[in-house]
């Protein structure tokens, strides 16, 4: 009999569950047009629920045209065409537009091999959360919250939480950047910053010149904006200035997009001399620069290198996009854009259209965290840690993996070239429970098929050793 | 003499400040090519700073080609063409694209009269933060943080924090929504949710049918996506179904965008009967619905009204966009989209392209806050408060403002029509330090010139009385 298999769950009101149950029986045909339902009294006894609950359920079904009431007799399954008996079935996939499809096809989480339990994964370059000083963050929260909880919880400003903006200006100034006519916008990480620039300052079909390989998310953002990224091949010596000039002349790009420090994925650093030369070249040819501040703060070499933007002095051709996500607390999703105030002004308006503003609570907590000096202390600690981790990984790489080239000089990852197709290697490694990112995803023009990125920030030393041995073995077997 | 007006600030390294000072003197001409700088020893004595600091400053200037060192003699102002002496001047305004300009021109903060100190402002419909239960939020933070601080601070998932997703599913189900084949995505507020839908499911030039007037931000989002919003005029009886059908037939819109509860700006509520009829009509004509859940939770009338989506049953034609921003803690920027899982799947990929994910910390805190029952308790409290506030405002309106029509039946605002142009009225009120939003900004087709919105959520009762008296007086003077 119907209702015998009815079971209450804890997750929603009882009357709705009963109504849902009856609807499902009508839809699946167990109850048919004209069938009489048990009385509210009977059902109440059967299900051990109050009559009011049953009555509410029946009322809901009447509202939805599933049943009707015959006064003095009871409730019957409706013969009308109730909405729920012919549910709509829109083929949503037909609605997907090109940009949506592109975002989906370039979504590594959906296209690359998934991590499984017990695997050693070298895919991530997120910070190692065991190094987070969570107590300091808690203290920062409590301190700032006790000062202005109401303010933090209500609407803030699209530009950002002013004390954090001021802190970032000071920070950027300390890296040699001139603040005159410049301003800062707080964003939901680097990703939103780059989106805002594309949303406001580019036209469909514009060419963007970038390093090849480069940051996969940046490529995805450019392409979902209908922009055309053109790659400048990176040799072991990094960016070739003559090639850069030739490419600019050939393609007249809207922007030059560069990641000067521990470039993702190669780990290369553009030297100060080359930074000056790039600025001079772009000024001569009147090409603005999008500087991706990625890994700036985590550089562990002793030579101080200032951002590209600092070499532009009072000039306004560089838009700098920074992020805290690779440094600390990516869960907070905080980044910033520093640029000419005209640029920030239009980005700010677009930010208000895209996400209104970034979580004030997160901004305030981070501000307090920086103000108390926790940030500097943390940076010092992790820089040392990642330096050791990198050195360790390079040593193990040399021992166990017969690679052809190792790029770069540091970072949260190693980027290597091997003698075979990296996807072929990955397939074999995956069987032995080791995962990494094939380098082709960072490349334009079908390049980089024999390259791979090994993220080392979230693995232990023993995982590095074990994982690299497996990769090395697989590689040798395939050669 | 140069250097006498040099003053150290606390906000950046000393050597950078000195280098900056010298650069500024070179740029402004006080120091010229070939001029000899004081020795590091002299400058150290003059400025009372260590010689190391002065040497670092000079080294920075050498790096930047501002000065050069003549070994054994000292430092001279360079005769080269240093970058900073001819700073680039990109005319960024020439880069602004149509969508950027549109976002700027529709940015109310930049285009409408600004609030000044001591003004009574009826522009806001943000929640009254004095009703926030900040202690409960702090407790929620501490509880969830003690459980999983490391997890909260590292990268999360684009779809959202799973416990919050599950909570929202249960919540939506409790409002009569069928969960079969549906899924939830957490967003940075309603705004990001609507952007994601436009980003993935629309094409440039698509028509979107919406109430006229409607939510200003929604219009802005549609237009910055190159969509064409077409308005369905709202009479005092709300949406006219025949008109709706005619408009659908005429324009074949991609979506019907509706705000069924305490519609912004009119405060109207679509009745359950009409909701069923709208669903039936859209099903018949095969038009999907974007339901803006705005104010759903704050409805204080006793009649339970379920979302439009609930009337679609097992159907998949409704995309529901919800937000916590008008309920509690807009500073946290949390919203969600519930829709067919195919839709959520593509939105999720695009979300990963736009902002990676929403702050996990904020999501987890809100989850804990809901789990502990604080949310329900808070809703109960503010519903009662806003109900009283609304009734009070309506009473005062009737006493003091000779309006022509009052729309709607509740909400965080009153929407009225007067006998004159609302901007003319605003101008006069502004002189007397009262501010409101002219209704034209919510309208398409140059309609609504005599309408205005009075936000009442963030003003005191005495401000309502005083402000309405002033508006009434100004209106009478102008009539």
Chain A positions touching B99 (Cβ under 8 A) are 199-200, 350
Checking if the pLDDT of A82 tops 60, the result is no
Chain B positions touching A90 (Cβ under 8 A) are 286, 288, 316-317, 340
* CB B269, CB B306: distance < 8 Å: no
Q: Does A137 touch chain B (CB under 8 A)?
A: yes
Q: What residues contact residue A206 under an 8 Å CB cut-off, 6+ apart? A: A227, A228, A253, A254
Inter-chain CB proximity A83 and B137 less than 8 Å: no
Checking if the pLDDT of A425 tops 60, the result is yes
Instruction: Give the pLDDT of residue B276.
Output: 84
Which residue among A124, A153, A189 sits closest to B331, beta carbon to beta carbon?
Answer: A153
Instruction: Please give the CATH topology (third level) of the domain spanning A98-130+376-478.
Output: 3.90.1150
* CB A361, CB A334: distance < 8 Å: no
Cβ neighbours of A258 (radius 10 Å): 24
Structural element, H or E, at residue A103 = helix A98-105
Nearest CA in chain A to B169: A11
For chain B, domain boundaries: 14-85, 98-129+376-478, 132-374
| Residue pointed to by tokens 């926790």 | A374
Chain B positions touching A101 (Cβ under 8 A) are 346
Instruction: Give the pLDDT of residue A86.
Output: 74
Inter-chain CB proximity B16 and A286 less than 8 Å: no
Question: Residue A417: helix, strand or coil by DSSP?
Answer: strand
Which residue among A88, A150, A313 sits closest to B283, beta carbon to beta carbon?
Answer: A88
Tokens of B384: 């009662």
Instruction: Give the pLDDT of residue B303.
Output: 66
Chain A positions touching B176 (Cβ under 8 A) are 16, 60
Q: Does A80 touch chain B (CB under 8 A)?
A: no
Inter-chain CB proximity B316 and A343 less than 8 Å: no
Greatest alpha-carbon span in chain B: 93
Question: Rounded to a whole number, what is the distance in Å from the CA of B187 to chain A's nearest CA?
Answer: 9
Which residue among B189, B224, B361 sits closest to A362, beta carbon to beta carbon?
Answer: B361
Tokens of B242: 């025949």
Instruction: Give the pLDDT of residue A88.
Output: 87
Tokens of B218: 């929604």
Architecture of B14-85 per CATH?
Orthogonal Bundle (1.10)
Q: Does A192 touch chain B (CB under 8 A)?
A: yes
* CB B368, CB B147: distance < 8 Å: no
Instruction: Give the pLDDT of residue B412.
Output: 92
Inter-chain CB proximity A315 and B83 less than 8 Å: yes
Q: pLDDT by residue (tens digit) across A120-152?
A: 999 999 888 888 899 999 999 999 999 988 888
Instruction: Give the pLDDT of residue B83.
Output: 58
Checking if the pLDDT of A339 tops 80, the result is yes
Inter-chain CB proximity B188 and A356 less than 8 Å: yes
Structural element, H or E, at residue A405 = strand A405-406
Q: Which CATH class is domain B98-129+376-478?
A: alpha beta
How many H helices and E strands in chain B? 17, 15
* Interaxial angle between packed helices A216-224 and B341-354, expressed in degrees from 0 to 180 and rounded to the nearest 10: 110
A10-14, A208-212, A258-262: range with lowest mean pLDDT: A10-14
* CB A425, CB A475: distance < 8 Å: yes
Instruction: Give the pLDDT of residue B84.
Output: 57
Are the folds of B98-129+376-478 and B132-374 the same?
Answer: no
Q: Does A284 touch chain B (CB under 8 A)?
A: no
Confidence band of A412 (pLDDT split at 50, 70, 90)? very high
Question: Rounded to a whole number, what is the distance in Å from the CA of A452 to chain B's nearest CA?
Answer: 22
Nearest CA in chain B to A334: B359
Structural element, H or E, at residue B185 = strand B182-187
Inter-chain CB proximity B96 and A346 less than 8 Å: yes
Q: What residues contact residue B57 under an 8 Å CB cut-off, 6+ apart? A: B14, B15, B16, B18, B19, B22
Mean pLDDT of the region A447-452: 97
Nearest CA in chain B to A343: B92
Nearest CA in chain A to B284: A88
Decide the pairing of beta strands A74-77 and A67-70: antiparallel
The DSSP output letter for A17 is: H
Q: Does B94 touch chain A (CB under 8 A)?
A: no
Decide the pairing of beta strands A289-292 and A318-323: parallel
Question: Rounded to a whole number, what is the distance in Å from the CA of B8 to chain A's nearest CA?
Answer: 13
In tens digits, what is the pLDDT along chain B, a chain of 479 residues?
678 788 887 666 888 889 888 887 887 777 888 889 999 999 999 899 999 999 999 998 888 778 999 988 899 988 765 555 677 899 999 999 999 999 999 999 999 999 999 999 999 998 888 888 999 999 999 999 999 888 888 888 999 999 999 999 989 987 888 888 999 999 999 999 999 999 999 999 999 999 999 999 999 999 999 999 999 999 888 899 999 999 999 999 999 999 999 999 999 999 888 998 899 899 989 999 999 999 888 887 766 678 999 888 889 999 999 998 777 788 888 999 999 999 999 999 999 999 999 999 999 999 999 999 999 899 889 999 999 999 999 999 999 999 999 999 888 999 999 999 999 999 999 999 999 999 999 999 999 999 999 999 999 999 999 999 999 999 999 99
Instruction: Give the pLDDT of residue A11.
Output: 62
Checking if the pLDDT of A60 tops 70, the result is yes
CA–centroid distance for A170 within its chain: 27
Inter-chain CB proximity A153 and B129 less than 8 Å: yes
Nearest CA in chain A to B364: A331
Inter-chain CB proximity B176 and A220 less than 8 Å: no
Chain B positions touching A325 (Cβ under 8 A) are 155, 356
**CATH 3.40.190.10 applies to domain B132-374:** no
In chain A, residues 152-171 whose CB comes closer than 8 Å to chain B: 152-156, 158, 170
CA gap A141, B133 in Å, rounded: 16
Chain A positions touching B223 (Cβ under 8 A) are none
Inter-chain CB proximity B150 and A138 less than 8 Å: no
Q: Does A130 touch chain B (CB under 8 A)?
A: yes
The DSSP output letter for B118 is: T
**CATH 3.40.640.10 applies to domain A133-373:** yes
* CB B263, CB B224: distance < 8 Å: no
Interface mutation target, options A304, A331, A343, A347, chain B, most CBs of B under 10 Å: A331
C-alpha dist (Å) from residue A28 to A81, A132, A233, B61, B179: 15, 53, 60, 80, 17
pTM: 0.89
Confidence band of A303 (pLDDT split at 50, 70, 90)? low
A242-246, A297-301, A453-457, B178-182: range with lowest mean pLDDT: A297-301
Chain A positions touching B95 (Cβ under 8 A) are 201, 254, 288
Chain A positions touching B93 (Cβ under 8 A) are 342
CA gap A236, A406 in Å, rounded: 9
Instruction: Give the pLDDT of residue B413.
Output: 95
Inter-chain CB proximity A142 and B145 less than 8 Å: no
């Amino acid at each position: 009999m119907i209702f015998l298999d009815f079971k209450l769950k804890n997750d929603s009101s009882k009357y709705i569950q009963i109504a849902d149950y009856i609807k499902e029986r009508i839809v699946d045909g167990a109850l048919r047009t004209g069938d009489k339902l048990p009385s509210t009294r009977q059902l109440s006894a059967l299900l051990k629920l109050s009559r009011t609950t049953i009555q509410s359920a029946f009322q809901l079904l009447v509202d939805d045209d599933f049943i009707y009431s015959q006064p003095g007799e009871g409730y019957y399954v409706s013969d009308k065409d109730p909405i729920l008996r012919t549910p709509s079935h829109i083929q949503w996939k037909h609605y997907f537009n090109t940009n949506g499809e592109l975002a989906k096809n370039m979504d590594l989480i959906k296209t690359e091999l998934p991590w499984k339990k017990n695997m050693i994964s070298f895919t991530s370059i997120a910070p190692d959360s065991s190094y987070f000083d969570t107590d300091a963050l808690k203290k920062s929260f409590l301190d700032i919250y006790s000062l202005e909880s109401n303010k933090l919880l209500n609407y803030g400003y699209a530009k950002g939480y002013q004390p954090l903006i001021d802190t970032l200006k000071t920070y950027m100034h300390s890296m040699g950047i001139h603040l005159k006519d410049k301003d800062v916008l707080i964003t939901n990480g680097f990703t939103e910053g780059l989106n805002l620039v594309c949303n406001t300052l580019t036209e469909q079909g514009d060419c963007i010149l970038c390093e090849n390989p480069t940051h996969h998310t940046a490529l995805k953002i450019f392409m979902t904006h209908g922009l055309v990224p053109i790659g400048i091949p990176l040799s072991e010596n990094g960016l070739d200035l003559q090639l850069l000039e030739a490419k600019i002349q050939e393609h007249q790009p809207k922007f030059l997009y560069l990641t000067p420090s521990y470039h993702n994925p190669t780990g290369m650093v553009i030297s100060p001399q080359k930074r000056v030369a790039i600025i001079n070249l772009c000024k001569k040819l009147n090409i603005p620069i999008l500087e991706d501040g990625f890994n700036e703060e985590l550089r562990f070499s002793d030579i101080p290198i200032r951002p590209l933007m600092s070499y532009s002095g009072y000039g306004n051709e560089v838009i700098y996009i920074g992020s805290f996500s690779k440094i600390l607390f990516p869960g907070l999703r905080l980044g910033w854009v520093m640029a000419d105030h005209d640029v920030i002004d239009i980005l700010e308006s677009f930010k208000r259209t895209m996400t209104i503003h970034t979580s004030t609570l997160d901004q305030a907590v981070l501000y307090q965290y920086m103000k108390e000096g926790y940030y500097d202390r943390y940076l010092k600690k992790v820089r040392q840690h990642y330096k050791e981790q990198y050195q360790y990984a390079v040593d193990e790489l040399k021992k166990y993996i017969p690679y052809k080239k190792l790029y770069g000089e540091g970072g949260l990852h190693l980027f290597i070239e091997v003698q075979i197709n990296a996807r072929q290697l990955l397939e074999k490694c995956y069987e032995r429970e080791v995962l990494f990112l094939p380098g082709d995803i960072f490349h334009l023009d079908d390049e980089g098929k024999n390259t791979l990125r090994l993220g080392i920030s979230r693995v232990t030393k023993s995982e590095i050793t074990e994982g690299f041995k497996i990769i090395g073995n697989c590689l040798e077997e395939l050669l």
